[in-house]
Amino acid sequence: MNDMLQKTANALRARGYEVTIWDNAAAARDFIANDIPAGQDVGIGGCETAYQMGIADALRQSGHAVHWHRGVPASEAGAVRRAAMLSPNYLCSANAVTEDGLIVQIDGTGNRVGAMCYGPSTVYIVVGRNKIVSGGYQDAVRRIKKIACPQNARRLGLQTPCATGECQVSACQHPMCNIFVTLEHAPNAKTTKIVLIDEDLGY
Residues lying near ligand SF4 in the complex (CB under 6 A) are found at: 145, 149, 153, 160-162, 167-169, 172, 175-177
Q: How far is CA 172 from the centre of its chain?
A: 23
| Of residues 119 and 202, the one with the C-beta less far from ligand SF4 | 202
Of the candidates 79, 82, 15, 47, which has an alpha carbon nearest to the alpha carbon of residue 156? 47
Determine the 3-state secondary structure of 62 from DSSP: coil
- Residue 51 contacts residue 70 (beta carbons within 8 Å): yes
CA distance 132 to 94: 9
| Of residues 37 and 165, the one with the C-beta less far from ligand SF4 | 165
- Residue 58 contacts residue 106 (beta carbons within 8 Å): no
Q: How far is the CB of 1 from ligand SF4 (least distance, A)?
A: 34
| Of residues 50 and 177, the one with the C-beta less far from ligand SF4 | 177
Q: How far is the CB of 111 from ligand SF4 (least distance, A)?
A: 17
CA distance 125 to 73: 25
Q: How far is the CB of 106 from ligand SF4 (least distance, A)?
A: 7
Q: How far is the CB of 66 from ligand SF4 (least distance, A)?
A: 27
| Of residues 14 and 169, the one with the C-beta less far from ligand SF4 | 169
Work out the number of other CB atoms within 10 angstroms of the CB of residue 152.
Answer: 23
Q: How far is the CB of 178 from ligand SF4 (least distance, A)?
A: 8
CA distance 36 to 32: 6
| Of residues 42 and 177, the one with the C-beta less far from ligand SF4 | 177
Q: How far is the CB of 184 from ligand SF4 (least distance, A)?
A: 22
| Of residues 81 and 143, the one with the C-beta less far from ligand SF4 | 143
Q: Kindly report the CA angle at 31 between 96 and 78, in degrees rounded to 5? A: 60
- Residue 116 contacts residue 183 (beta carbons within 8 Å): yes
